[in-house]
Amino acid sequence: MKIFFRNIHLYLSLVSGLIIAVVCLTGGVLVFEKELEQAWHPERYHVTSANSPRLPLQQLTGAVAAYKPGAKITGVKVYADPSRTVEFSLAGAPGGEKGDKKEGGRASQGPEARETPAAGNGVPRAEAGRREGGAEGKGEKGGKGGKGGEGGPGGPKVFVNPYTGAVTGELNYRETIFFTMMALHRGMVGGPIGKLIVGISTVMFLFIIATGLVLWWPATRKALQQRLKVKWSGGWKRVNHDLHIVLGFYSALFLFVFAFTGLAWSFEWFNKGIYAVTNSPMQRPEPPASTVPAAATVAAAPVQAVQGLPVASAAPLSPDAALQLVKQQVPEAESYALQLPKDLAGSIRVATLRRGASYENATDELFLDQYSGKVLSQQTYEQRSLGQRVRGMFKPVHTGAVFGWPSKIIALVVCLLGFTFPITGTILWLNRLRKANKKQRKQQNTVAAM
């Protein structure tokens, strides 16, 4: 029976080994994406907090408009931490969304938008349109942009000092090394076909892990002791054998979990299955609409108000007024992410992250009438459907962020080990081939001598 499992393990590994190695290596890089991004560009994210009060958002939007004339501001994120900058999300270039869909982008996995994932990092795509949890967005399509949970990067993000109004930096996710790593991780830069290949390889990896455990299982107690530690004093072949067998056992459970959760970004049927098993609706209700006053005109569009342009009567709420209303409802949040309405009937969506939240996208949300400020609807994280909460956990589990730094370190180590297993496994196979060929030649020579 073990020969049967060994053949499955071997042939699946030969077919998918290279893909698995690349996915594990890029996954290891992406584990600390947020921390690396902030370490490389600290000026974008942190400022020296002064005793002076924060400037109003209206003034900060003016600074963004001066920095990028004609840019359309689609969202703003404000942190309770006094040392954090204010983040403004801008609309992407025309046609950019299509490109993002083809790439299977990463809106939720940008360094500041951890579904995210998908990480562009615009508030409406990563933190709002996606509904803070990947598949919770309308019509999750297993990685398609726009309506689904894993939208493309969208437009750039501009960071502003809340005390001086100075622009401290700009982030275009598609221009970062992390976007390249994510493109490799999700689809080997091969578009839909590459994404399918990675998905199939991931399924193979699950079988490789399962058959590997069957092959690892010792027949005696002495064999068990040998398979629980690396014999560093042995020759290089023995060390290579132990690195594959012993470390493979210790990392098997983690690799299985990472691979299993990764299927959510490869196959639509997998996401549908999550909602079916949890008996939860996959589609979320449409956002509530604002009551448009009769005096409101096109000149009173919310984007114009945000950009400080003149408006007619019945003008929508300013971002400052909306933020103040939300703070009255949720005074102790770590962050407030405002998604601005796209038309006169749209509502203002605000995602708030409570202190001590289980993960970064375990947010509460509320919708405000953009004219009156009335709370149209409100939902806490606990009020989400079971399917939404389960799917929302896939990202932090997949990236190792679920328990903070300890689980991230484990994820990094396991990903690096996952990169080595195709290498050590190939060497192990070649060594066995040489040994088998040598034995066969010896037998042939013996027969010839007789």
Looking up tokens 């940008």 gives 110
Q: Which helix (H) or strand (E) holds 186?
A: helix 177-187
Q: Average pLDDT in the 196-217 region?
A: 95
For residues 194 and 320, membership in a common domain is answered with: no
Among positive and negative, which fits the CA dihedral 42, 48, 53, 55?
negative
Q: In what order do the strands lie in the sheet with 167-171?
A: 167-171, 157-160, 86-90, 73-79, 333-339, 347-354, 364-369, 375-379
For residues 41 and 2, membership in a common domain is answered with: yes
pTM for the model: 0.79
Question: Is residue 117 predicted with pLDDT exceeding 80?
Answer: no
185 lies in some domain: yes
119 lies in some domain: no
Q: Average pLDDT in the 6-16 region?
A: 93
- Of 163-167, 195-199, 436-440, the range with the lowest mean pLDDT is 436-440
For residues 195 and 254, membership in a common domain is answered with: yes
248 lies in some domain: yes
For residues 36 and 83, membership in a common domain is answered with: no
218 lies in some domain: yes
Count of domains for the chain: 2
pLDDT score recorded for residue 450: 66
Residue where a domain stops, chosen among 360, 384, 408: 384
For residues 184 and 257, membership in a common domain is answered with: yes
141 lies in some domain: no
Pairing of strands 375-379, 347-354: unpaired
17 lies in some domain: yes
For residues 267 and 224, membership in a common domain is answered with: yes
The β-bridge partners of 378 are 366
101 lies in some domain: no
Supply the DSSP string of 59-120, one letter for each residue: HHHHHHHHHSTT--EEEEEEESSTTBPEEEEEPPPTTHHHHHHHHT--GGGSTT--------
pLDDT score recorded for residue 435: 85
State how far the Cα of 143 lies from the Cα of 101, in Å rounded to an integer: 8
Q: Average pLDDT in the 233-262 region?
A: 94
Query: CB–CB of 33/111 below 8 Å?
Result: yes
Residue where a domain stops, chosen among 357, 384, 411: 384
Q: 344 lies in which domain range?
A: 49-92+152-162+289-297+312-384
How many helices (H) and strands (E) the chain has is answered by 14, 8
Residue where a domain stops, chosen among 337, 367, 384: 384
For residues 250 and 196, membership in a common domain is answered with: yes
User: CA 189 → CA 152, 197, 264, 438, distances in Å?
Assistant: 14, 11, 18, 42
For residues 204 and 264, membership in a common domain is answered with: yes
For residues 156 and 231, membership in a common domain is answered with: no
For residues 413 and 277, membership in a common domain is answered with: yes
5 lies in some domain: yes
- Of 146-155, 156-165, 232-241, 370-379, the range with the lowest mean pLDDT is 146-155
State how far the Cα of 155 lies from the Cα of 153, in Å rounded to an integer: 6
Residue 71 is encoded by which pair of tokens? 């840019």
